[in-house]
Structure formats: C-alpha cells, structure tokens
Structure 1
Amino acid sequence: MRNILPKITLLFVIGTIIYSCSLVKRVPEGKQLLSKNEIFVNEKLIKEERINNLVLQQPNNKFLAYPLRLSLYNLAKKNPDSSYQVWLNKKPNRRARLVKLLSEKQVQRLGKSFVVSGFSNFLKKTGEPPVIIDTKKAEISKERLSGFYYNSGFLKNNVTLAIDSVGNKRGKITYRVETGKPYHIDTISRVIETPAIDSLYASEENKSFLKKGAQYSYQSFDNERKRITQQFRNNGVYHFQENHVKFDAIIDDSIQKMNVVLKIEDRNVKEGDTLIKKPFTIYKISQVNIFTNNSSKKEKNNVKDSAVYNNYNIYSSGRLNYKPKALTNAVFIEKGKLFSDNDRTLTSKALSNLKVFNYPNIEYTQDPADSTKTSLIANIYLVNKPKFKWTPSIDVSTSDVQEFGISGNMSFTWRNVFKRAEILELSTRGNIGSSQDLANPNNVFFNISEYGADAKLNFPRIFFPISVKNIIKKEMFPSTQISTGITNQRNIGLDKQSLSSSISYSWSTNNNKNNFKFELLGINYVRNLNVGNYFNVYRNSYNRINEIAAIYNTNDGYEDLNGDLKEDSVLDFIVDVLSGTTALTPNDADFKSVLSISERYVRLAEDNLIVSSSFVYNRTTKNNINDRNYYNFKAKIESAGNFLSFLGNSLNLSTEESTAGNSKLFGIEYAQYIKSEVDFVKHWDFGKKNTLAMRSFAGIAIPYGNAKSIPFSRSYFSGGSNDNRGWQAYSLGPGRSGGVLDFNEANLKLAFSTEYRFRVGGNLYSALFVDVGNIWNVLDNVEDERYTFTGLKSLQDLAVGSGIGFRYDFDFFVFRFDLGYKTYDPAREIKDRWFKGINFSKTVLNFGINYPF
C-alpha cells in the first residue's frame, strides 16, 4: 500500500494538470478564462439567482460540476478547412493524385465535408467557447448591480469590482456592494388636473402600492402606474395610457426620506397644427355593432342581412347564419356601460373560444350623434372559419407486437351546426397489421385489425333543462360536450368490442387558473370476444399454473406430449384445485397462487359495464409556457353503478345473479364503486433553466354494492416512464407480492416523485430523479396480506426507484429517456431491499415524450 499511494498521488496530480491545461486550450495569451463570479453585499457573499443574473458574463456551463460543453468545444479543430489545405499541400503529388481520382471541385468540397470539418463544426456547435473575461462587460455589470440596489431603495450605494488570477489563464471577478442606508417614503400627495378622474382615483386610493413609511422601490411605483391605468381604463377613461402617470420625488439625503407627488396632467390633443390640453373624458357605450363575415370597418357598409337583439346590432355581408343569442352571449361589451378594457378582453376571448371565428377585431369610435361627446360606438368584426373541415391521415408503424401496421384516420368537422356556434366532430379510424405472435392458421399477412368511429358535439354553453347561469356565469366560458364512440378490435389480446358515451360540462374561473369538469353521465361497455386466448397472452400466469400442475395435476388429459398443460385445459385444472380434487389445500401457498390467478382471470376476462358520474377540479398558477415556478393541483371524485342500481330497482327491470352473487342488468354484471384522487405537482425555478419538480399522488377506488372489485380499466398500476421508473409499467406490486402477473393492478395507489432538471448544453437537458410509490388492494375481494394495505406498517412496502435521465428539446416537444434502478425493492426480504438493483445490467430504460410531470 505504501508503494501504491505515491503512484496514485502522482497520477492524480498529472491528471489535474492535464485537465487544467485542456480547459484553457482556446484562451489567448494575456487573457483569462472566467472561472467564477462573486458578489458581496455589505461583506456578505450573495448566491441569490436574480442578483447573480445581473452580471453579464457567466462562467461556462457545467454538467455535474464539469464544464462538458467547453471540453467539447476544445476538442474541435480550430480551423479544420485550413488544416486540410496544409495536409493537402504537404506532399507535392498528393493534390494531383486526388484530383486525378476525383476532380478539383470534389477535392475542394472534401475540405468542407463531415469527414474533414463536419465533426469539428458539430463539436463547436454543440460545445461552448470559453468565456473570456471582458473588462467592459464587467463595468456594465457593476452599473447594473448599482442600478438594482438603487431601484430597491439604496440610492447612495457604491459598487467596486476586482479581477483576480486563480491559476493558469484563469480569473475570477469579485463585485463588492456597499448599499448604504435605504430611503423611505415620507409623504404622498397628488395633483390630478381632471376632476372626474381625481374622484375616480380617490375611490380606490386605499389599493395604492405606495405606502407612507415604506422603503422606496421602483417596482412599487411601476405597479402603481399599472394599477391606476387599469382602474381608469376599466371605468370609462378610454384615452388614458400608462405614460400619463408621473411621479415627482423630493429627496432629503440627511434623513434618507422622500416626499412623493403623483401627477396626472390633462391629455394633449392635436387640433390642426396646435397641441392643446383637454380634460380626460369618461365614456359610455352608446352602440354595439357586430359584423359577421367582415374583416375590417371598410366592409361594414356591405350589409345584406341584419338583426337587433338585446341592444346589439348584428350585420352580415351575406345571409346571417347565426342565432343572435349565440353571438351576444359571447359579448361582454354592453350598451349603457362604461368603456372597459376588461370587457373587451373577455369578449375577444369568448368569441375565440367559440372556435367558429378567427381572432376578432374590436374597434371603438366616438359617437357623432352624441352632442356631449362622451359616447363610444363599439364595432366588432368577425371572420368565419370554414364551415366544413376534412382531415385525413395515414401512418405506417412497427413494434415488438406488430411487425408491420398501417393505420388511418379521417375526421370531419362541421361548425355552427344548429346556428348557435355548435361544433360537430365525426371521425373514423382503422388499423390493420401483421403479428407473428398471433395464431395464423390461414397464413394471412394482415392478421390484426381495429376499427372504430367517434362523434362529439360541443355546445358553447351549459346545455341543461334547468338554467344555471346564476351559478355558472358566461364569463366562466362554460361548454357542454356530448360524445359517443365504438371500437372493434382483433389482435393478440382478448379481442374486444367497446362502446362509450358521455355528457360533460366544463367551465373555468380566474383567467383559466381554476378549471372544472362535471361528467353528468359516462357509459363504458367492454365485451371480450376471445377469452380463450387469455393464457396465451398472460404468459406469467400460465407459467405459474404450469409449474404447479407439474406437481399436483392428476388428469393426463390436461397435458400435451411435452408434459405441459394444454392452454384449453388450464381452467379445468384451476377448477380441480379450487374444488379440492387435488392434493392442494387452502392453506398451501400454491393453492393461494392458483386462487389469485383465478380471480385475476375472472376480472380481466369478464365483460364490463360502467355507468358513472365524476367531478374534476384543476388549479394551476402557471402563467405561460416559460413559467418554471408554479404548481398544479388536481382533485377528482367518481361514482359508478348507483344510477343502474336505481334504474333496476325503480323500474323493476329483469336482473339475474352471477356466480359471485352480484346482479346482472341486461345480461352484464355492472360495476359499482366510488373513486377519489388527488394529484399535486410543484416546480421551483433555480435559474439558468435548472428546475426542481415534485409530484405527489394518492388515489383509492372502493367497490361496494354490486361489486367486490374494481374494473381493470379503472384500477391503478405502478411503474413505467411516467411513474416509478425503476420498474416497467404494470410490473410493480401490489404491495410486496413482487409483480408476479403480467399486468399487476390494484385499487389503492400512492406515488411521490422528485426530479432535479438541469441543462447540459444547447437543447440537451438531464435530470436526477427519485420515485417512491406502490399499489395495494384494500376493501375488495383480495385477502392475501402481501397484496393488501393493512395500515401504516404497509408503508414499508413503498418501492423506491432512482436514476438519471436525458431530454432533448425539439421546441414543439421534448424527447426523453430515463435510466431507472430499483433502489428499494419491497419484493425482497425486508433486510435485503436496499440497493440490490443498482447495477448497469439491471437498468430499466424508459422512453417518453415531454416531461413525466
């Protein structure tokens, strides 16, 4: 060990020197690579992102503390084309031989090819050039820091900078800020020349962002300017703009205080060649004109049809194809009301949400018929979208299941169906494919097929027998959707027919920050057509039964020539086990396995009839697509089976009992359950496109009445690219059972995920993640304690997956893949659960589009 330690030390020192030299490879002599910025405020080191971002020059980006992009840039040849020319002319006959073999033009083009210069250009584009310290930019940064603290109330701050060497061709910049004492607002007064808006200001003066005694802040003054402008323009002051608000400040440096004067002078109006001052006028709306099929005021005289409805004048250059109420319901500008920017914004949004017009054009003109000159005419110009739209598409695909497939879709959109801005969407879809996994006795190439049709009818209002406009107001942009769809599928699964229909209502509040959806009635019917194929699809179930049959089967007719269970005899053997005709007893572990597989077969192979109602509330604080500091909260409650139970009892419909003792309606055992979910996602923005994201989810579905379990389509699973990434989809749980089935599901789920996302370089991002969660059975027909949630003790069966992911941002979507590992595996013995899956050979690879949450 004594002999090895000096060698290791020497290698470490040599490696450090090589690493250090390689980073400054492209730094010119006499220049320095920026390694660090330090900002001290009153001798305290500041690491706050918004303050550090004031500095123009930032050190090269790092990936896991290593400047990866800088290293890639340094690997590129500086001038690959010039190097090629040097190589070409190094030997006298080299160029001549190449020209003879190719041509002069091709020899020159070879210098710009990927072989010669393309790779270096790729490295330069992917990499990042060294950030060389620029004293001019440092001085600008110094001024920006001073300006920031000035705008925060420290009017007498002082900023200095120093550039220090920290190694070979490396330097750091230190900024030192002495803030001095902050200045405070002593008094606030106002001078508003127009009496009408002076009174208007006084009515909401208590909402001012400027408070006596508060520390001076430029942001407060800017917010107050915006508040006043918004208040005035929503209360009739049509000509008011932000630049009409001015502030004067009388500063007393001896006591660090200021007296603030708010000044709003009368507006300047040009009459002829002269500017004169006029008081601001508070305007009312005297007319609201709606022009359809018109793109501008130039066409407003081209009127061929018109209508008057609720003080709205509606004109059309052709036949009026809209019921007046359908248009006026989306207009918030009303005759007799004060001019309001808010009404204009709501009107634009509501008309756009109808999806039958392009973005509306709203113009205001002074009413020439009003002698007081205090009235405005609102003209709304609407351009129709095409009444009909046909969209065909075709796609060719391949997968592990389907070697070759062709799918086609065709949709037809009919706008303004009943002249009330309704939209009808009709679509059909089909798929044919080829699979070697499906039995194919006739040797047909296309042995997989699926086809279906859907219809959706959207109403831009609440379509309900009872008026709810006092509860759900039109500024909530309510809508109703009625949909139905049918699908027929033949593939390597159980094959199925399905029918779904629903009627639902949606509305929102607070600028789409709060969204609500109420599904009054949802119907889902699934009929399995190829139940006999079950054990061919769910091979884990078959393999387990086959293992048990090898020991306990007593009927030779169940076996094939190889001694394995025939697939059409699996159910016979299960019946033998459960009826007690084999040596297995209910206390045996193998008996419980057979029972579990039997119950799962019944659940997955049975037909489903689900008639449900649900309510979903979704809240977000996200302002736009670039907002990285927000949260989403979603809660859902769903109830199924009550309507059918009531229908069967009240109308005395014929029912029959299943073998499990449940009722069947129309020959189908209907589902009955109540389900509740809560989903919370939070993002923290750390700047430089670094984000911490967290998600927590809890869901439970409780069967009752006519059901002892939850339909497969309404149950929970765990694992996969959007869940616990240490496991494949459906392979985790329930509980500590070890995911013994092909598709493991249950009716209780807990999931927690944390992911730190950071930029590697360019459009390439990475993430470190930890996922925690599992599924359990609870309050249903599963009694095995390995599968069930029995209390807080069951939380020790929460699985932990962790790993690293990479994402590439294509602007319109993000492609990602994650390398997940089983960090804590509840399927193992409790003392042997941690870190047994941290091995490259056990990597779980997950692909996905966009972020997991």
Structure 2
Amino acid sequence: MKKISTKIAAFILIAIFICACNAVKRVPDGKQLLTKNQITVNGKATKSETVFNQLYQKPNSTLLLGFPLRLHLYNLANLNPDSTYQAKFTNNPGKYERKSKWLSAKQVDRLGKSFWYQGIHDFLKRTGEAPVIIDTAKTEKSILRLKYYYFNNGFFDVDADYKVDTLGNKKGKIKYKIATGKPYFLDTIQTSITTPALDSIYETIKSNAVIKTGNQYKTIDFNDEKNRVTNHFRNNGVYYFQPTYVNFDIDTIQKGDKAGVNLIIKDYSFQDKDSTRTEPFKMYKISDVNIYTDYSSNKSNQPITDSVTYKNFNLYSHDKLKYKPHAITDAIFITKGGLFADNKTILTTRYLNNLKIFNYPSVQYEIDTRDTTYSSLIAKIYLTPRKKYSFGTSLDVTHSNIQDIGVALSISETIRNVFNGAETLEVSVRGNIGSSKDLANPNNQFFNVSEYGVDLKLNVPRIFMPFSTEKIIKKRMIPSTLMAIGFARQRNIGLDKQNFTGAFTYNWTPKKNNTARFDLFNAQFVQNLNPQNYFNVYGSSYKALNEIGKIYNTNPSYFNNDTDRDLIIETGTRGFISDVLSGNTPLTSADRDYADVKSIEERRLRLTENDFILATSYTFTKSTKTDLTDNTFYLFKTKIESAGSLLSLISNTTNQAENKNGKFELFGLEYSEYIKTEFDYIKHWDLTREKVFAVRSFFGIAIPFGNSDYIPFSRSYFSGGSNDNRAWQPYSLGPGSSGAKDDFNEANMKIALSAEFRFKLLGDLKGALFADAGNIWNVYDNVTDEKSTFTGFRSLKDIALGTGFGLRYDLNFFVIRFDFGFKTYNPANETDEKWFREYNFGNSVLNFGINYPF
C-alpha cells in the first residue's frame, strides 16, 4: 500500500509539473512569447555576442538542452494570492465563520500571508522569470541600437529592418536584417593644438596614437586616444587639462569611403567673475609638499604644535609628531620642484593606504600665491591615523582535506606604528575543533580533532636590509618586509604534531597585476608527539603487516590472542618488524614479503620522524582579475623553493661529521634538502548570461638530494579532494597506478588539469559540470615501486579522469559548494576495466567545499 501511494503522489506531482509547463500560460491573448532572435548581416547569419547584446529583448533564459526552467517556475506561481485567498471566503461566507471559531479572525487573516498561501508564490515569482513578450516599441529601439553599434564601427550608411515570424500557440521570433554598406577608413590625421607647450608634448607621443591612417573608423579608438592624450598631459604638469578639451573634426565630404581627422585642442577656458576667459595651458610645478599627519575634521581649527622638514617634505602635527619622518616620506611620490602628475598622486594614495596605519588619505592641490606667474602648486596630504590598538575576533566554519567540518576561533590584537616607523605588529591566538570520520576515533566522538596556536607577525613597510635596495626594488613597487614566528599543536590528527615556524619575507609589486614574494628563509620544525600511534592511523600498512605476521611470526607474545592472531600495536608490530629485518624469521631478503615489511618500515620511519626544514623561495604571481565579479581573467603563479643547501654548505665547510646514515644533523635531526618548483595557471571565460567556463592546470615537482632521499610529508603532494580531482577522496588517488594502497598517499610530483562549466539555475543557486584529470608520482627519490614511479611519457597513461556535476549557493561573501564526482578513468584498475567501470552513484564522491575550487 505504501508503494502504491508513493507512486500516486509521484504521478500527481509529475502531472502538476507537466500542466505548469505551458510556456505561454502567462502570455495574454493577441501577444507572442519571444522564443528566438535571428540577426543576419549582409545576408549572413551572425552569432556575435556583442551584436546580440545590442537587443533590448532576449528570450527567456534556459538551462542545458534549452529548457526554460525559470519561466515555468514563474508560471507555477499565483500572481494574486491575496485575491485568491479572499475569494475562498467571498464565495463561501460560512467558511470564514467556521474557521474563525477555532482560529481567531486575526489568525485567519494572517493565514493568508503565510508561506503556503503567499510566501511560496512570492518565492516562485522571485526565483522564476516572467515571459518575454514581443514588444514592437522595444524592437524599434533594438534597431536603433544596432544602427548605432555599426555606425560606431565605421559603417555610416547602415540600413536595418526587422520582421516578426509567428510560430503558432502565442509564440514568435524576431528576424533582424542589417545591411552595413562599406566601412570608412581613416585618411590623413592632422592636429590643431593652440597652446605651444601642449603641441610640443603631443609631438613626443604622436607616434603611439591609437588612431592611425588606414585604420577602420571606430568610435572607441577616438575615446581611447582622448584618454591617452589627457593622461599624458596630466602626468606632465598640465593641471587643469580635462578630456573635454580634446575634440575631433571628422571630414567625409567628397572622400568616398575615407574620413579625414583633425585633432583639436583649444586653450584653457575658465570663469572669471561674470565673464569667460581663455589663456594658454600652463605647466605646473610643485612648490611645497605639506603632510598633515594627524588630520581630523574636529582638529582642523586647532594650531599646529609640532613640525619637521625632511628631504623637502614638510610634516605637521596638531599633537606631538608620532612618526619617524622617513616612514611617511617613503610613501610620497609627489616631490618638490617636480611637475604635477596624476600618476604620482595615485601612487602616493595607494602606498599610504597600504601602510594600514591611516584611513584612506586625501591629496589636494592649491595654487601657490607666492608665485607671481601662478604656475606653482602646493600639495597638501591629509592623513587620519587609525586607532593604535585594535582587537579582532573571527569565528569560522571550515572544511579541509583532513576535517569534514571544523569550527575555528581566532583572537587578534593589532598594534600600529609600533616602533614609530609605520610598522604593524599583530599577535593572534587561534583554536579549532573539528570532526573527521577518516581519522582514528576510538571514543566515537563527533569533535575528535583539535588544534591551537599562536602567531606573531611584524610588517615593515620597506625592504628591511642593512643596505639600500632602491636600485633593484623601487619604492613605487610598494615593498614590505614580513617577520613571523608561530607555534601550533594538533591533537588526534594523525600522529599529533606540534609545529614551530619562522619566516623572513619580502613582498613587492613589480608591475600592475604582478606580485612578487621572496622568502629569505622559511623555517619549520615538525615534532610528532604520538609516533607509537602510527599503525592505528595508517590502517592499510597495519593490515598488510598483520597478514604477513600471521604467516611468519614465531613469537606468540606479539599476538593479541591465539584465535585472532593479530599483531599488538605497538609492541607486536615493532617486534615482528625487528625480527624480520634481523633475520629471526623464516623470511629472507629474497622473499617478496620481506621486501614488503622493509617497505612498510621505511614508510613508518619517514612519516614518524621529526622534520626540520630551512627553505628559501621565490614566488611570482600575475593576475588580470579586477574584482570578485570579474569572470574574464587569468592567473599565473610560479614558485621555486630550495631547502637545506645553506646548511649543507656550512656542514661541508666546517667539516662536520656525518651520522651512521651518512647524513648531516642539526639539533640531532637530519635536516631536509631538496629543490621544488610549481606552475599554476587559471583562466576564466565569461560566456554571458551568468555562464562561465573555467580551466586550471598545475604542475609541481620536488627533488630530494644531498642530505635527503625523500621529501618531507608536509612538502609532498597528494591528489583527490574538493579542490583537486573530485572523483576521489583526499589522499586516495595514486601514486601512479598503485591503487592508493596506503592510507595517506603522497608523492613528490603532481600533474592536475581541471575544466568547469558554471551556469545559473535558480536565483542564487548555481550549477556546474566539471572534468578533473591528474595524478601524483614518485620520481628521483627512494621509492622503487614501478607502479608508483614516473618513468617517462608512458606514465602519462596513469592520469586519472573524474567527471561530475555540482550545486553551489552564493551567499555573496562566500559560496557553499557540493560536487558529485564520478570515476571516469581509473588507472589502478585492470587494463580492460579502466573506463567507466565505477561510473555510478555507488562509487561517486560527494565533496563539500567553501567557494569555487579555482
């Protein structure tokens, strides 16, 4: 009976949806639903996105396969739920009285405002999309915009018309027909610049003009040329110059398809009392740079009590001056005696704002009346200090490759201008509790992992070195130095760790959209607090060792009992490994099981030993992204890192003794030595109507040498997870075709490729289709397993492929993401079972993430 009722309910729902799927349900009689726009230009159909964007009316948006879901949702809504609710009682007055007996009249009235009577319809109207009905007035406006578009591209004799085709059942499409005629090209280009000084300046940049003889006429080129000329003049002292002073006279009379151009710049025009006067433009120089270091509106009338002149800069303060002069003047690019320049003003405000000790600065100019030629400016820079001390807290819900869910609390104290040199000191304490089903959890607690730490960061707004670096890293690159130390401790995460870090980092911006980072040193000491827990955490290693132990172990004290014969952790596992490697079991070095035990022990030692890493690295990033809403950009990032080489140089030059393993030690630890490089490229294409195509490619390799035979776990690569190959869980893919036989599989080389098509579903709910490819391999280290190592191009056949779909909900400040990944090509399977053998929901992986993966 239950199954029958379920089928009936499903049938009813489907029937309701089919009935609602009448696309013309809300189209009035005599009107037509716009289903398609068709544009032909000179007899040929065009698909140009720019051309279609000129139209005032476009068909209702569709999902994949052209289904107008939002239109049908709108059609499901009751457009007048209030009237419908009231009609129930108008047609049946006794019904209102009966309801009012067991509900008050006020409650009955409020019921009409409830979600089921009104809210659901408001949601459907808001989420859905009203039918686009063909409007001839808007079509006529579209014709004008099309003509204007082609006119702006050099077609001065455009003819455009349209026709509405009726498709039946209240549907129609609009056919636009455009005849452009011949395009016009630029002929001779002349200039008429009245002010001699401006004419001389223009001659120096004339060769770089956007408009050139022979180019097709384009209005945008004239606007670009106008802005180019204006920017150059204003960056070379012409203070009063504006784009409105640049005009063009275009002559097409008796020239056929040619257009002669005359660039015209007249003299400066200004209002003098009741009359308008003109005079040649002047070149303005800066006579003084005055900096008010503690400006505020309520102090503007108070006297200046402290001042200092430093390198031609005048610094003023209403109270005692709290800054070393160079800390402020290093951020000022406006110089006494130099020409007025807009770009210097912008650079100054940008640098001052980057100090993070002032509110956004204000730079103003006024005529210096001391100059009788009235061609000098006084630059006044107003700085409003932020509070010296600021306290901050943050509470975040997090998700990572280790924690399924976590709650993080951070408390910080920021001290500005701590040494009177515009430095910023930040002290922060953080704590995190989380839940992970993948880690050992004997007590079955929900919050089974935790971490706490403290960090100390000092930011200095310059390159902190004993010698000047101005010739290498100019101050216009906004350099800074970051000194940081930190401590963190983890509990119930793997072997439990405590982590000590220290860094000395230089940051600067070589060009717009480019950033550079140089870590003079980045030190990390990782101490495992619970190494005896190894076989509890790495269950696959224990399982493999235990199976061998059941066959070859001869010491009954290593087993938990005579029935199960499982090796006891830690005494049994360690004792059995020792017996195997020392020859106290029937196994010999020629046996496969002996090699497996040796490999298990080598991995245990590698993952349980403490690590000390002293690295130097350089990172360069270039991005064309302008803001969070930019969907057409690329990002390129590369990094090279070297660790341990300096320590090895010191050890060799000081003739330090090697340990029994032939390695040098520092503080009783074999320090890591390797070189590592990474390349990351992300590209987004905006396909309009909230459709975006994004790709990402990544390559990374870390090669151990000298004092190391392998890469530390914290510097190695893994594959799988919500930001990687989403058809596999984190650490569960690779290396190579080995089949992820270990619990936390990692290697020292990685290739990753991803592509994603994103589109809008309903309101803030977005959808995505994606494909992720990649894997990890061991190369140039001590791993000998052929399936795990990269041996050349033939190893690329081990690149795994995962495909799937995702749902994302945009909360403006972050995006909640769910992705379903399906194993499309699994290199670990047998040759004839690699493709689509696990392509089902039973083997799929559900990923939860915050924000987009790339």
Scaled to the shorter chain, the TM-score interval is: over 0.9
Q: 1:49 to 1:247 in 2, by over 3 A?
A: same
1:23 aligns with 2:23: yes
1:198 aligns with 2:199: yes
Separation in 2 of the partners of 1:357 and 1:207? 39
Match of 2:40 in 1: 40
Match of 2:334 in 1: 333
1:169 aligns with 2:167: no
Once the two structures are superposed, the pairs formed by residues 248-647 of structure 1 within 5 Å of their partners are 248-252=249-253, 255-295=256-296, 299=300, 302-393=303-394, 408-431=409-432, 450-491=451-492, 493-511=494-512, 513-561=513-561, 562-568=564-570, 569-584=572-587, 586=589, 589-647=592-650
User: Could you tell me whether the CA contact under 8 Å between 1:61 and 1:761 is conserved in 2?
Assistant: no
Separation in 2 of the partners of 1:527 and 1:575? 24
Q: Amino acid of the residue matched to residue 539 of structure 1?
A: G
User: Could you tell me whether the CA contact under 8 Å between 2:299 and 2:318 is conserved in 1?
Assistant: no
User: Could you tell me whether the CA contact under 8 Å between 1:346 and 1:475 is conserved in 2?
Assistant: yes
Match of 2:8 in 1: none
Measured after TM superposition, the shift of residue 117 of structure 1 is 2.0
Measured after TM superposition, the shift of residue 554 of structure 1 is 2.9
Separation in 2 of the partners of 1:731 and 1:310? 61
Match of 2:704 in 1: 703
Deviations 1:766-803 (A, max 9, x none): 11111110000011000010110111111100000111
Deviations 1:566-586 (A, max 9, x none): 112122223333444444455
Measured after TM superposition, the shift of residue 403 of structure 1 is 11
User: Could you tell me whether the CA contact under 8 Å between 1:772 and 1:801 is conserved in 2?
Assistant: yes
Match of 1:51 in 2: 51
Q: 1:365 to 1:435 in 2, by over 3 A?
A: closer
Measured after TM superposition, the shift of residue 322 of structure 1 is 0.7
Separation in 2 of the partners of 1:846 and 1:779? 33
Separation in 1 of the partners of 2:588 and 2:70? 65
Q: 1:199 to 1:796 in 2, by over 3 A?
A: same
Deviations 1:179-237 (A, max 9, x none): 00111222222222212212211221111111112211101110111011001101111
> When the two structures are superposed, what TM-score results if normalisation uses the length of structure 1?
0.93
Which piece of structure 1 moves more, 792-801 or 809-818? 809-818
Q: Amino acid of the residue matched to residue 569 of structure 2?
A: E
User: Could you tell me whether the CA contact under 8 Å between 2:401 and 2:721 is conserved in 1?
Assistant: no
Which piece of structure 1 moves more, 242-251 or 389-398? 389-398
Q: 1:674 to 1:87 in 2, by over 3 A?
A: same
Identity of aligned residues (%): 52
Alignment: residue pair count: 835
Separation in 1 of the partners of 2:692 and 2:345? 36
User: Could you tell me whether the CA contact under 8 Å between 2:440 and 2:536 is conserved in 1?
Assistant: no
Which piece of structure 1 moves more, 665-674 or 712-721? 665-674
Q: Amino acid of the residue matched to residue 814 of structure 1?
A: V
Measured after TM superposition, the shift of residue 646 of structure 1 is 2.3
Separation in 1 of the partners of 2:483 and 2:394? 24
Which piece of structure 1 moves more, 727-736 or 116-125? 116-125
Which piece of structure 1 moves more, 539-548 or 56-65? 539-548
Which piece of structure 1 moves more, 714-723 or 593-602? 593-602
Measured after TM superposition, the shift of residue 277 of structure 1 is 1.4
Once the two structures are superposed, the pairs formed by residues 162-241 of structure 1 within 5 Å of their partners are 162-241=163-242
Separation in 2 of the partners of 1:472 and 1:23? 63
Separation in 1 of the partners of 2:202 and 2:259? 22
Measured after TM superposition, the shift of residue 590 of structure 1 is 4.2
Match of 1:8 in 2: none
Match of 2:6 in 1: none
Deviations 1:805-827 (A, max 9, x none): 12222221122111101000011
Q: Amino acid of the residue matched to residue 600 of structure 2?
A: I
User: Could you tell me whether the CA contact under 8 Å between 1:38 and 1:174 is conserved in 2?
Assistant: yes
Measured after TM superposition, the shift of residue 89 of structure 1 is 4.3
Q: Amino acid of the residue matched to residue 327 of structure 2?
A: A
Separation in 2 of the partners of 1:710 and 1:461? 34
Match of 2:755 in 1: 754
Structure 1 counterpart SS, 2:457? strand
Q: 1:296 to 1:217 in 2, by over 3 A?
A: farther
Which piece of structure 1 moves more, 237-246 or 126-135? 126-135
Q: 1:29 to 1:253 in 2, by over 3 A?
A: farther
Match of 1:766 in 2: 767
Measured after TM superposition, the shift of residue 141 of structure 1 is 0.8
Measured after TM superposition, the shift of residue 20 of structure 1 is 10
Structure 2 counterpart SS, 1:484? strand
Which piece of structure 1 moves more, 609-618 or 577-586? 577-586
Measured after TM superposition, the shift of residue 373 of structure 1 is 1.0
Separation in 2 of the partners of 1:297 and 1:159? 62
Separation in 2 of the partners of 1:362 and 1:630? 32
> When the two structures are superposed, what TM-score results if normalisation uses the length of structure 2?
0.93
Match of 2:673 in 1: 672
Match of 1:6 in 2: none
Q: 1:26 to 1:551 in 2, by over 3 A?
A: farther
Once the two structures are superposed, the pairs formed by residues 812-831 of structure 1 within 5 Å of their partners are 812-831=813-832
Separation in 2 of the partners of 1:595 and 1:98? 81
Which piece of structure 1 moves more, 353-362 or 754-763? 754-763
Measured after TM superposition, the shift of residue 429 of structure 1 is 2.4
Separation in 2 of the partners of 1:840 and 1:618? 39
Deviations 1:126-150 (A, max 9, x none): 1111111111111111111110000
Separation in 2 of the partners of 1:404 and 1:841? 23
Q: 1:585 to 1:725 in 2, by over 3 A?
A: farther
Separation in 1 of the partners of 2:300 and 2:567? 80
Structure 1 counterpart SS, 2:526? strand
Structure 2 counterpart SS, 1:509? coil
Deviations 1:18-70 (A, max 9, x none): 68961111111111111111111111111111111111111111111211111
Structure 1 counterpart SS, 2:509? strand
Deviations 1:263-307 (A, max 9, x none): 111122211111111221111111110001114698276211000
User: Could you tell me whether the CA contact under 8 Å between 2:399 and 2:848 is conserved in 1?
Assistant: no
Match of 1:4 in 2: none
Deviations 1:234-253 (A, max 9, x none): 11110010111111112126
Q: Amino acid of the residue matched to residue 643 of structure 1?
A: L
Q: 1:375 to 1:779 in 2, by over 3 A?
A: same
Separation in 2 of the partners of 1:373 and 1:153? 44
Measured after TM superposition, the shift of residue 594 of structure 1 is 3.1
Match of 1:692 in 2: 693
Once the two structures are superposed, the pairs formed by residues 656-667 of structure 1 within 5 Å of their partners are 657=659, 660-667=661-668
Q: Amino acid of the residue matched to residue 824 of structure 1?
A: Y
User: Could you tell me whether the CA contact under 8 Å between 1:818 and 1:847 is conserved in 2?
Assistant: yes
Q: Amino acid of the residue matched to residue 480 of structure 2?
A: S
Q: 1:253 to 1:601 in 2, by over 3 A?
A: farther
Q: Amino acid of the residue matched to residue 555 of structure 1?
A: N
Measured after TM superposition, the shift of residue 364 of structure 1 is 0.4
Separation in 2 of the partners of 1:271 and 1:21? 69
Measured after TM superposition, the shift of residue 444 of structure 1 is 12
Separation in 1 of the partners of 2:52 and 2:68? 19
Measured after TM superposition, the shift of residue 838 of structure 1 is 1.1
Which piece of structure 1 moves more, 266-275 or 170-179? 266-275
Separation in 1 of the partners of 2:129 and 2:598? 62
Separation in 1 of the partners of 2:637 and 2:218? 37
User: Could you tell me whether the CA contact under 8 Å between 2:192 and 2:264 is conserved in 1?
Assistant: yes
Measured after TM superposition, the shift of residue 439 of structure 1 is 7.9
Separation in 2 of the partners of 1:122 and 1:52? 30
Deviations 1:830-849 (A, max 9, x none): 22100112102222111111
